[in-house]
Every structure is written in C-alpha cells, then in structure tokens.
Chain A
Amino acid sequence: MTSADNLQAFKREGRIVVVGASLAGLRAAEALREEGFTGSLTMIGDELGEPYDRPPLSKQVLTGWVPAENTKLPRRREVDAEWLLGVPASGLDLATNHVRLADGREVPFDRVLISTGVRGRPWFVESEAALDGVFVVRTREHAAGLQRALAAGPSRVLVIGAGFTGSEIASICRERDIPVTVAELAPAPLVGALGAMIGEVAADMQRAHGVDLRCGVKVTRLEGDAQGRLRRAHFDDGSTIDTDVAVVALGGVRNTDWLQGSGLAAGVWGIACDTGCRALDLNGLVTDDVFAAGDVARCPNPIYEYRLISLEHWANAVEQAEVAAHNMVSGQADRWPHLSIPRFWSIQFGVNIKSVGVPTFADEVVVTQGSVPDHRFVAAYGYRGRVTAAVSFNNAKWLDHYQALIETAAPSPPPCPAPDQPADAKPVPVDFPGPTLLAQGATVVVTGHDPSERRVTAAYQHR
C-alpha cells in the first residue's frame, strides 16, 4: 500500500483522540470533520460540560451582566465525537499509542492532538489558597464564585499580580465601585508583556480610576480568621491591608505534567512542536502522530528568528488548531505551516488595548501616533532596526498597518502613517524585567557519543 492509500484509509477509519476539550480542541475537532475525516474522534477534557469561551469570564461575567454558564462556545458544525469529560488525562504512551485517563481507562489512537492549555497558577501556600475569599480565575466555576463574592459587596478586593487578567479584574472592581488594591512585584502593571513605557501608562490608568496600586511589593501572607475566611494580607514591606477577597492573578501553568515520561519535549514552557504543530520528542525529533495546539503548544516562529514561542492568545488557539487538524489528515506535501502574527486584546478601564506581533521581542519602543495622555495611541516595537510588534490603546484600526510592517521586516522606528504624529516620537529602550524563568536552568541532559546513540533524557527539577 502506498502512503497515499494509507492516508485515505486513515481519513476514512482512523482513530483521532483530542486531549483538551476547550477552544483549541473544539475548533480542531470541527476542522477535522470539515477536512473529511470520518473515522472515530474522541474528546478528552478534565472539566464537565461543553467547551466554553474564557475571555468573557474576566469581563462580562465579573461585571454581573452574563452568567458564567452562558459562555458555551458556538459550534461551527457537528463533530460527531465521543466525549470523555470530567476526567483528566494522566499519561501518554507512545510505544502503544494510548492516552491514559486518571481513572485508569486507556484510550487508543492512531493520531493524537494535545490541547490541554494552561491552568491558573495557584497561591503558593496551600492553606492560604484554601481560605474562603481567595480566588484564581481560569474556569467557569472560578468566575461564578468570584462574581458572587463581588456581588456581596466586599469591603476591599486585593488583586495579586497586575498582568492582563489582574488588571481587567481591578478595572471591574472599580466599575462596580468596590475598593481595590493591586499588588505587583514588577515596577508597573503589564510590564512583563509590554515593557516599562506602556507599563507607566497602565499604572496611570489604574490610579486615575481609583485603584490602590502598589508596585515593587510582594504579598507574603494571606491571613484568615477562625472561620477560615480571608481577613488580611501582609506585604514584604511590612504593611498590611484588611481585605475579604483576594484574586491570585499570577499567570498560568501549562498543563504538561501528565506528559512526564512520555518522551515528548514537554515542560514548563509547553510542548515544543514544529510549525506544522507536530510535537517534538525529547531529542528534538519531530513525531509523526502527535500534534499540539493552543496555549500549551510551543511553536517556532520564523519571523522571530525561529524562536519557540507559546502564546496564551485566543486567536492563536483557533488558528493553530485549524493548522494542526489540517496536517493531521494531510500528506507531507500538503501540510501547512502555522505562520500567523500573534494578536491579543484586553479591555480595561474603558480602554481597548490590542497588540500585534511579539512585544517582548524588541529592544526599543516608540509612540508612533496619537496621544499617550489621552490613552489613544499606537506604539511600535523594534528589534535591531526592524518592526516586530505594535500595541494600540483605543486605536485598533491601525494594527493591520503595523502587521504589514512586521511581515515585511520594515525598518524601525516606522514613520507615522496618519496626521496625528505625536510631538515627541523618540524611541526608548523597551526595558523588560529580567527573564527570571530562563534562570531555572536546563531541563534535559545529553548522553552518548556515537551519532546513533546520542540522546537526551529529561531532568525534571524539584521546585
């Protein structure tokens, strides 16, 4: 039989398992059927219920407008799948091509797509995380719980971490007229994603809306009362605040723990894959039957010097899922690369913040149009003299223009494309905080001398 015959047989009666039944998993399943895959399709997900959309959780749901259970994703088509929900996958055996579930069941596959995403990083002290009033916001249930807590009229909310989610939650507290303190270890909000200059703008926005913003501080302890209710938070500068709700918004943890021992290049940064969404094994060899998509995938982007980049972006999850699905049922010559330019948005303090490209891949940033004090501007990021990203505050219509600059490696700083050139458009250093994660060191060791013997083995770290 030729490989073309094999492919046709696989499309007709093969077995595909999708691990992770959220946005990326669902869109991949729909795309597989759209591509003509008529074999068996199994969806594995750790949460009960249908796939739902997460961005509204920190916005429409927390304002109280939309109930958390009203966020189920619209379907593009029927997927005719078997859904195994409420039980997480606990292992992947590539010798026998089985996914193992936490309840002991084994699910066989010919090809598997991993789209297990990320979970909210929990508060680091378990007993404090368990206090009544301490929340993370990642799932529908989390959002519903926090919404109820906000509706009960807390005396003050503490948001720990001023990234996008933390800032959005602080914004909603102010919209609901709830006093809110934001604690951020970095010098300003959003600094990790957008750098120091934009961070200052974000800090001004928060303070102008009455947020008690404390930067450069660490929350050291969450203190409860005898009933196990949160009462107070302690900071590393010795100060304390009384609070009854704390939201831990310290980013996500990629759901790769279950792949330990699988032989895949999976770790804290995600699952390394090629642009065709095929997962790499520990040695960096491309696998044929294991694919990855969504927040958990770590994919090289040729525009950014082929660096492996994982993105927790909605549009990336959708586009990568479609590419993965296409490639799962296509021969080598027909495969697509996932080459999209990242797009991101956040709504906070009445401002629409959007970005295109990878702002962290930059050494300088310049406001190219509009007015920073009016919170209506575009800033362009450059790396070694070419445009690599742009961020807009209430100026989203211009991002397509900047995307074209990124795609054509246009020189940085770019000229202002509109009549609203800012008075002082000088590039400044982008100034990101140090890459603390990079300092965690190697996760593998290399063994063997002969080319046929050289292999990498995982060296999992104890934290």
Chain B
Amino acid sequence: MRVVVDLSRCQGYAQCAFLAPDVFRMHGEEALMYDPNPDDARRDQVLRAAAACPVQAILVDQLEGRDAPAEASPS
C-alpha cells in the first residue's frame, strides 16, 4: 500500500509511531521517518495511524490497488 506524510504539517506527536511502529519511526526527538510502501498486511495499523494523526498529515492511497495506472506509453 502507498502512504505519504505531509511533513510540513507533521508536528511530531508520534501517535503513528505508536500505532504502526514498523511503518512510522521517530528519528531523533521529533522528526518522522516512514515507509512509503508498507506491506498490505499493515493496512489496518496504517489506517488507524492515519485516523489518529492530530494534524491529519497522513495520506493513504484511495485506489487500494484497483487502478493499474500509468506505466510508460510512448506509443
């Protein structure tokens, strides 16, 4: 699954790092590092983390793999 965090919005509350520690990690006191492509098995954890983010900075793919878009097409 695909994830992106708007780090200009993130304030380092670290809720995500508690809820999905394999995906979101604190780096130093307040910087967040995350895996932008976590295993689908982590989906529930990641969705919980996204919902719990106090500043709503976590965006999870809305297409959930339905779409198979955009590989090269120099036709």
Chain A residues close to B by CB (< 8 Å): 21, 43, 48-51, 53, 55-56, 59-60, 63, 65-66, 70-79, 81-87, 103, 313-315, 318, 343-345, 347, 350-352, 354, 376, 394-397
> A49, B71: Cβ atoms under 8 Å?
yes
Task: Contacts A84-B74, A397-B12 given; indicate if A74 touches B4 (C-beta within 8 A).
Answer: yes
> B70, A83: Cβ atoms under 8 Å?
yes
A76: contacting residue among B6, B10, B59, B71, CB under 8 A: B59
The 7 closest A-B pairs by CB, nearest first: A350-B28, A70-B37, A352-B31, A74-B61, A343-B8, A74-B2, A315-B8
**Distance in Å from the Cβ of B1 to the closest Cβ of chain A?**
8
Q: How many residues of B contact A (CB 8 A)?
A: 33
B12 proximity list for chain A (CB < 8 A): 352, 396-397
**Distance in Å from the Cβ of B57 to the closest Cβ of chain A?**
10
Cβ-based interface call for B72 (8 A): yes
Task: Contacts A56-B36, A351-B28 given; indicate if A345 touches B4 (C-beta within 8 A).
Answer: no
A72: contacting residue among B2, B33, B73, CB under 8 A: B2
> A73, B2: Cβ atoms under 8 Å?
yes
Cβ-based interface call for B41 (8 A): no
A-contacting residues, B3-30, CB 8 Å: 3-4, 6-12, 27-30
**Distance in Å from the Cβ of A167 to the closest Cβ of chain B?**
13
**Distance in Å from the Cβ of A176 to the closest Cβ of chain B?**
14
Q: What are 10 A-B contacts defined by CB distance under 8 Å? A: A53-B36, A66-B35, A71-B37, A74-B3, A77-B62, A83-B71, A83-B73, A352-B29, A395-B30, A396-B30
A354 proximity list for chain B (CB < 8 A): 8
> A347, B31: Cβ atoms under 8 Å?
yes
**Distance in Å from the Cβ of A188 to the closest Cβ of chain B?**
21
> A50, B29: Cβ atoms under 8 Å?
no
B72 proximity list for chain A (CB < 8 A): 48-49, 85-86
A72 proximity list for chain B (CB < 8 A): 2, 36-37
> B71, A50: Cβ atoms under 8 Å?
yes
**Distance in Å from the Cβ of B22 to the closest Cβ of chain A?**
11
**Distance in Å from the Cβ of A371 to the closest Cβ of chain B?**
13
A51 proximity list for chain B (CB < 8 A): 70
A60 proximity list for chain B (CB < 8 A): 33-36
Q: How far is the CA of A72 from the CA of B3 in the complex (A)?
A: 9
Chain A residue with the shortest CB-CB distance to B12: A396
> A347, B62: Cβ atoms under 8 Å?
no
> B70, A85: Cβ atoms under 8 Å?
yes
Known: A75-B61, A352-B30. 4 other contacts (CB 8 A): A43-B70, A70-B36, A85-B70, A351-B31
> A394, B29: Cβ atoms under 8 Å?
yes
Chain B residue with the shortest CB-CB distance to A395: B30
**Distance in Å from the Cβ of B23 to the closest Cβ of chain A?**
11
> A59, B2: Cβ atoms under 8 Å?
no
Task: Contacts A60-B33, A85-B73 given; indicate if A55 touches B62 (C-beta within 8 A).
Answer: no
> B62, A75: Cβ atoms under 8 Å?
yes
Chain B residue with the shortest CB-CB distance to A314: B8
Cβ-based interface call for B60 (8 A): yes
Q: How far is the CA of A76 from the CA of B69 in the complex (A)?
A: 13
A376 proximity list for chain B (CB < 8 A): 29
> A75, B29: Cβ atoms under 8 Å?
no
**Distance in Å from the Cβ of A346 to the closest Cβ of chain B?**
9
A50 proximity list for chain B (CB < 8 A): 69-71
**Distance in Å from the Cβ of A62 to the closest Cβ of chain B?**
11
B63 proximity list for chain A (CB < 8 A): 75, 77-78
